[in-house]
Structure 1
Amino acid sequence: MNENRVAHYTVVIVGGGQAGLSTSYHLSRQGIDHLVIEKHRAMHAWETQRWDNFCLVTPNWQCDLPGHPYAGPEPDGFMKKDEILNYLREFRTKVDPPIREGVSVRRVTPRPEGGFLVATSAGDFSADNVVVASGGYHEPIVPRMAERLPPAIVQIHSAQYRNAGQLRDGPVLVVGSGQSGAQIAEDLHLAGRKVFLAVGNAPRCARFYRGRDVVTWLADMGYYDMPVEEHPLREGVRDNTNHYVTGRDGGRDIDLRKFALEGMELYGALRDVDGERLLFEPNLASALDEADRTYNGINAAIDRHIAAKGLEAPPPSVYEPVWQPPEERRVLDLAVTGIASIVWCIGFRPDFHWLDAPVFNGAGHPQHRRGITAREGVYFIGLPWLHTWGSGRFGSVGRDAAHIVAHIDARARQARRGSAA
């Protein structure tokens, strides 16, 4: 193809979720021409990769997409799936982005004369800048040992889970206890299903403490404005598993020990498959203890904040375990237990194979500073802890988008000054 006839844009945004549309919003305000390319439909993941009873785990007041703050009647509530979709549809209408939906980006390569060639399923485009807004959750992780499970077992990933009714009758094994795993285990438990849960190393936190939502306390303490460079773990925090908690039914703790008292069976991390036997690590007690240490540690930080500020609040408390594992069970027999389905909740891996740019580390994760890479013209937006805790969420993605757009604008102005000199 003759590149001279390829449509050219100052910016091409890959991904039409909240990150991509937030970037489009700020580009439009700066009068910068651009194109958003979305493989499916804008915001599709919220509709196609969330279960029926999904709801936010952060209060609605934290939803603050650019030009579109939450304006509903329950700022301290937690939007359910349908409400989230409506919120996002309204945002798209406000942004009115120049978007091509149903178009896959196949390859982004640098051009000898500068900028990039963007090869897609709908033809080629060129751009001075490429903003990768496709997130970091691309390929659902299912371990290879799953191939050795009996074929009668129904296996799905958390991204495919919708409700208890889609699974075969019988007990369900949920593997992983991060946000999705813990909430899906609860969803199945509340639906009356017998649940076995393989517990991972995810931390947990309280929903409410000393009279307020813990998120509200942490916001007052400045936690959500802390840049990654100031976090004790530095960039290592990007690899952390999210704390499990829920906004369901107005918000509450998720206490796996309480589930155990109610009949859910807890095991340690799943290690291997041996025919119809599942083998587990003997680490359930330590995993529960560590999650509780995090829970109490966050509350203790809130206690210190209240004391330092001289605030009035209900008295402090410390969580005491309501259940202890009687033993470390290391084997589970599928035939004996009758487990009919497994839900894998162990996350996703990134896939940026289509981007030809030397901006990745050995694990395939982009290296950047607040979304700006060392390769001129390549940017990332919407990744967890891109800059702060809220970078991958509705609360702060707009600020990151504004920062990136300001950098693109300054670069374009500098180029124009150089051409005029």
Structure 2
Amino acid sequence: MPTSITSLKTPHHSVIVVGGGQAGLSASYYLQQQGVDHLVLEKHSVTHTWRNQRWDAFSLVTPNWQCALPGYRYSEEHGGKDPHGFMKKDQINDYLAGFVKAVNAPVREGVAVRRVIPRAAGGFEVHTSHGEFTADQVICASGGYHTPIIPRLAERLPVGITQIHSEQYRNPQALPQGNVLVVGSGQSGAQIAEDLHLAGRKVYLAVGDAPRCARFYRGKDVVDWLAEMGYYQIGVDTHPLREGVRDNTNHYVTGRDGGRDIDLRKFALEGMELFGRLEGLQGDVLQFSGNLSESLDSADAVYNRINGSIDKYIAEHGIDAPAGERYEPVWAPSQERGELNLAEQGITSIIWCIGFTPDFTWVEAPVFNGRGHPGHVRGVTAQPGLYFLGLPWLYTWGSGRFSGVARDAEYVVEHLVRAQAKHKVA
């Protein structure tokens, strides 16, 4: 007779954490502090994304001092000697390896969670590629970047065109000879376009609506100024956009070579060809909207607005700082091109840098909105015992990053422990 999921033979844990990245490991850190029995399930290996889904020249876009994983803040104690620098890919993975060792979480790697089902009597069934578990509470810490976005028109592109998503990009040498079209100008798109451009590849860039910011302004990293101004402490509940801030695209900037601005107009002066938003395909000809000037102007307006807020802060607090200045465009399109013939321009590769969509179809609880995003307050859902961690703007700007995930994990675990105590009393 088949063993029931409710059988005593089914492994049970007070908490199951789904995902072994920085969010799941941060949850484990605080669960261990609270003495809560738990198990972390990771379908690949811990911190897999950082080791396997970043290009070779990748570096942090925020200074190292913001790396504040629980019990393992970036410091000389943990091998960090450049708080205002920007760790490169190998250095990031060394930092994470130290964190993994320090946390020593109870992890089972290579276990994919296929279903999480609330039980009528309370708790959850957790169905995996390696059998079934039960848990009183579940923390979903698998992040929000699951399914790469590739438009359907990609299916009609010539078969000789190499197509990859940003998560698959490694370096210019890995692409076939020829010119490259990068679609999307968010953090990944802008940095990948720069990586190719610096390697001498001819790049065509379809610009999106991503904003940009300065790397350094008035004597300090802009991140340092914003931290001093309290921006990174603003919660989604008090942000002017409220939950709408979760839809914002990240500002493009880079930590490469010690950190600098990314100015797409400067790239255009150097030979990169810029287009507006990609809209369609007819044969070998891609079609673009005529919004390039608008997109560049909008990104620059955000750049100047952030600098203006810093100017105001400096003035109000009487801070002695170098003079500021307003960014003025170094290039503007005289006439926007609405079409691009792939064959005529020698384009052999396209890199899709237009993001990801979440996939929480394995969580069978009524907590999602029409776009597949979980509804929650600081990671706490309306389903008793079900929590989320590691999502962008779960609570603050740093929620999905090294800088803010510890605060979120601590809050979720404290809520979980209180709920557990109430249940025992009841």
Aligned to 1:187: 195
The runs of 5 or more residues in structure 2 that have no matched partner are none
- What are the superposed Cα offsets for residues 95-149 of structure 1, whole Å, 9 maximum, x if unpaired? 0000010010010111222100000011000001110000000000000000010
Is residue 321 of structure 2 the alignment partner of residue 317 of structure 1? no
Aligned to 2:67: 63
- CA RMSD in angstroms, aligned pairs only: 0.6
Aligned to 1:300: 308
Q: 2:363 aligns with which of 355, 359, 377?
A: 355
Question: How far is 1:47 from its partner?
Answer: 1.1
Aligned to 1:287: 295
* Paired amino acid for 2:216: F
* Paired amino acid for 2:66: Q
1:93, 1:339 → 2: CA distance?
45
1:369, 1:110 → 2: CA distance?
19
Aligned to 1:90: 98
Aligned to 1:34: 38
1:278, 1:216 → 2: CA distance?
41
Structure 1 runs, 4 residues or longer, greater than 3 Å off: none
2:99, 2:382 → 1: CA distance?
31
Length, aligned pairs only: 418
* Paired amino acid for 2:356: F
Is residue 267 of structure 2 the alignment partner of residue 263 of structure 1? no
2:96, 2:66 → 1: CA distance?
14
Question: How far is 1:231 from its partner?
Answer: 1.1
* Paired amino acid for 1:359: V
TM-score (norm 1): 0.99
Aligned to 2:19: 15
Aligned to 1:384: 392
Aligned to 1:394: 402
1:296, 1:113 → 2: CA distance?
56
SS of equivalent to 1:271: strand
* Paired amino acid for 1:392: G
1:288, 1:32 → 2: CA distance?
51
Aligned to 2:226: 218
- What are the superposed Cα offsets for residues 386-415 of structure 1, whole Å, 9 maximum, x if unpaired? 000000000110010000000011011112
2:354, 2:139 → 1: CA distance?
28
Aligned to 2:157: 149
SS of equivalent to 2:201: coil
1:333, 1:339 → 2: CA distance?
9
Aligned to 2:110: 102
Question: How far is 1:233 from its partner?
Answer: 1.0
Q: Percent identity?
A: 64
Is residue 418 of structure 2 the alignment partner of residue 414 of structure 1? no
2:208, 2:124 → 1: CA distance?
42
Aligned to 1:368: 376
SS of equivalent to 1:24: helix
2:423, 2:232 → 1: CA distance?
35
SS of equivalent to 2:41: strand
The runs of 5 or more residues in structure 1 that have no matched partner are none
1:237, 1:325 → 2: CA distance?
30
Aligned to 1:198: 206
2:119, 2:390 → 1: CA distance?
26
1:412, 1:283 → 2: CA distance?
53
* Paired amino acid for 2:45: R
2:406, 2:88 → 1: CA distance?
22
1:172, 1:335 → 2: CA distance?
12
